Chain A
Amino acid sequence: MEDLIGIIPLLLATVSLVATLFSLKDRVKAEKSLVEALQVELQKEIVRKSESGSIVDLTAEGERIGDHDPVLVRAIYRDALKSVGSTAEAQSVLYKALNDLAEKDRNSIKGTLKTNTMAGRTRYIARLFRKALDSYAKP
């Protein structure tokens, strides 16, 4: 009889472990989506700010001045993106990227931003931008 009753908490604990692992998986997916959305918004921002904003245009411009160095062109473009990520535009880029996400993913990230400390929030946002920049056009 005790063995039979003892199954109940065992099942509940297993449910709790599985639910936690699924939540963790969803949370990782939400962050991946946000990093991708940040990349898109950063590119849009640099295009908006510069006539030769896209990587294609930049490559063409690089070739036009006779540089023919795609690594240098990518490095310059990355620096341009980085400057957007480290200035006041970062806030609007983050808002836009958050709005690009599915509601479930957005709520998951909002949960992190709301419950973290101020220092933790800053640290987390900086990491998101760093990931968005690092995975794009690394020279």
Chain B
Amino acid sequence: MNQSLKRHEAVGHWLASVGLNLLLPMLPLFVEYAITNTISSSNLVLAASMYSVTTGVVSKNRLVFVTSMLICVFYAAMFGHLLSLDPGKEAPSFYASIVLVVLFATNVAVKFWYHVIELRKYTDFSLGDD
């Protein structure tokens, strides 16, 4: 079986990973925006919390892991805070949208590392291989 992976194939695995692992989880936000033309602060904060934890666990860098966990805890706490606010009051998003973009960029770099530099196939699941 030919296991080699050409550069453009590796880029394909990277793009598949970005699409399925990074963009697909954002789908609820995209749908909400498509329907209401806005995204509620509580959803943004919850998404940022979930997204940061996934960034931390896939990274190989301890600093990234620690900072991602802190972001996760922060937004989890803020989500609780937002639920306690008066529904009529305008809710702050704590820059969650910008943080999501920065975390997305971090994840894209991590996926580049895995798929283009280390030549891991997107479908190269460790349990099914070794």
Report chain A residues within 8 Å CB of B98.
10, 13
Q: Is the CB of A12 within 8 A of B67?
A: yes
Residue A104, interface by CB 8 Å? no
Q: B4, A126: Cβ atoms under 8 Å?
A: yes
For chain A, residues 9 to 68, give those with C-beta under 8 angstroms from any C-beta of chain B.
9-10, 12-17, 19-21, 23-24, 27-28, 31
A15 to B129, CA, bound (A): 35
A120 — which chain B residues lie within 8 A by C-beta? Answer: 118-121, 124, 129
Measured between alpha carbons, how far is A75 from B92 in the docked complex, in Å?
Answer: 67
Q: How large is the interface on B (under 10, 10 to 19, 20 to 34, 35 or more residues)?
A: 35 or more
**Distance in angstroms between the alpha carbons of A131 and B4 in the assembled complex:** 13
Is A124 within 8 A of B118, CB to CB?
yes
Chain B residues within an 8 Å CB radius of A122: 3
Which residues of A are interface residues toward B (Cβ below 8 A)?
2-3, 5-10, 12-17, 19-21, 23-24, 27-28, 31, 111-112, 116-120, 122-124, 126-127
Evaluate whether A118 and B59 lie within 8 angstroms (CB atoms) in the complex, with A13-B99, A123-B3 already known: no
CB distance from A114 to the nearest CB of B (A): 11
Given contacts A12-B71, A13-B106, A119-B124, contact A124 B64 (CB under 8 A): no
Residues in B lying within 8 Å of A, measured CB to CB: 3-5, 48, 52, 55, 59-61, 63-64, 67-68, 70-71, 74-75, 92-96, 98-99, 102-103, 105-106, 109-110, 112-113, 117-121, 124-126, 129-130
Given the interface pairs A5-B94, A12-B71, A120-B124, the reply to whether A20 lies near B4 with Cβ below 8 Å is no
**Which of A10, A27, A119 contacts B102, CB < 8 Å?**
A10
Nearest 6 interchain pairs by C-beta: A6-B94, A2-B92, A117-B129, A13-B102, A6-B95, A12-B67
Query: Contact check: which of A2, A17, A28 meets B117 at CB < 8 Å?
Result: A28
